[in-house]
Structure 1
């Protein structure tokens, strides 16, 4: 496979992932997540350097995402800026999140940076960076 084909496959997987997330379509997300995918929320909720959460395997990642989809009634990731690494397997996405908490109508805005590591057109690793204070306030996640 050429470097251009690798890059195109990675970019397509990441685009499908985000479009499916915004649409609340777990089936389409499943299609692009590798069975052994790992999703790390790199932001710390206690001020340390350890990740806030590490999810391993497609079922665990989809369970987490399913919970988010239930909690958040509207999900928009705008101003997406996507950069593919030289190897074509690594994709970085910067985005502005604008969501609404289900049932309460509370607005949740955050700024995200995602690092996707892909192989064979599937997402193998997701590392997510965001402002933990914004997440805490909107989602009532304990800090400290």
Structure 2
């Protein structure tokens, strides 16, 4: 899909999502903030198979959804979570970037392999991610990040307050009759 012609709306959404990734890699919290809507939400979906080419294709096609393990709610929490990443990883980069955009721009996906080092221990961190971005009016309203959450948890990095609240919110999704732990929505 990424080599197809896209509408101007899709191009704008892609530029916003790309700016978010660039800002995170540059550890520029102000630039991250400019990409986010006030009600932005970031979901972390455990999808161990996301690391394979077929797993990526399944997520992009909507055949695989994963299980929500963190639900970061609102611009301030997303920024607090992102700021914590800046402290936890040095460098904070992805390699082998690939973008997939539907022709109407309704779906934007980023695929990349983490090329990071845990700042506290010097341990390399190489998780594979697929992130769906929903962009409205030039701002990110939803990011659903798919990866191997067990790999991240195994690093033993301590969650900050925003991260801890997002973990509790994800547990609530698993127990709630009206919210889905699997859909990411």
TM-score (norm 1): 0.87
Does the residue aligned with 1:102 lie in a helix, a strand or coil?
A: coil
Task: Verify: 1:23 aligned to 2:26, yes or no.
Answer: yes
Task: Verify: 1:52 aligned to 2:69, yes or no.
Answer: yes
Q: Contact between 1:22 and 1:75, CA under 8 Å: does it hold in 2?
A: yes
Q: Which residue of structure 2 lines up, in the alignment, with residue 81 of structure 1? A: 98
Segments ≥4 residues shifted beyond 6 Å: none
Higher strand share: 1
- Specify every segment of 5 or more residues in structure 2 that has no aligned partner in the other structure, as ranges: 1-5, 48-65, 159-185
Q: Which residue of structure 1 lines up, in the alignment, with residue 36 of structure 2? A: 33
- Specify every segment of 5 or more residues in structure 1 that has no aligned partner in the other structure, as ranges: none
TM-score (norm 2): 0.68
Task: Verify: 1:8 aligned to 2:11, yes or no.
Answer: yes
Task: Verify: 1:101 aligned to 2:118, yes or no.
Answer: yes
Number of residue-to-residue matches in the alignment: 136
